[in-house]
Amino acid sequence: TALHGAVIRGSGPLVLFLMDQGADLEASNKKGWTPLTIAEGVFYSNTGKRWPEMERLLLEVGARPTGH
C-alpha cells in the first residue's frame, strides 16, 4: 500500500498524510507484512535495517505491536 511505501522511504509527513486520508494501519502486503512490521526491519532482515522513527510514529498513531 502507499502506507507501506511511505514507511520504507522513512517519510513521517507522508505517513501522517495517509493516516489523515484513512489509510489502514493494519493492512498487510502479499507477504503478510504490515507497515509496522516493515518499520521493525523485516523488509531488510538480512541487514538489520530498521526505521525506529517510523516504528515510534506508527505506534503513536495506533498501530498494534507485532512482537518482532
What pLDDT digit, counting tens, does each position of 48-57 carry?
667 889 999 9
Spatial separation of the C-alpha atoms in residues 26 and 32, rounded to whole Å: 10
Domains of the chain listed by start with CATH number: 2-60 (1.25.40.20)
pLDDT band, residue 20 (cuts 50/70/90): very high
> DSSP label at 54?
H
pTM higher than the cut 0.85: no
Residue 14, CA atoms < 13 Å, CB-side half-sphere: 13
CB atoms near residue 56 (< 10 Å):
12
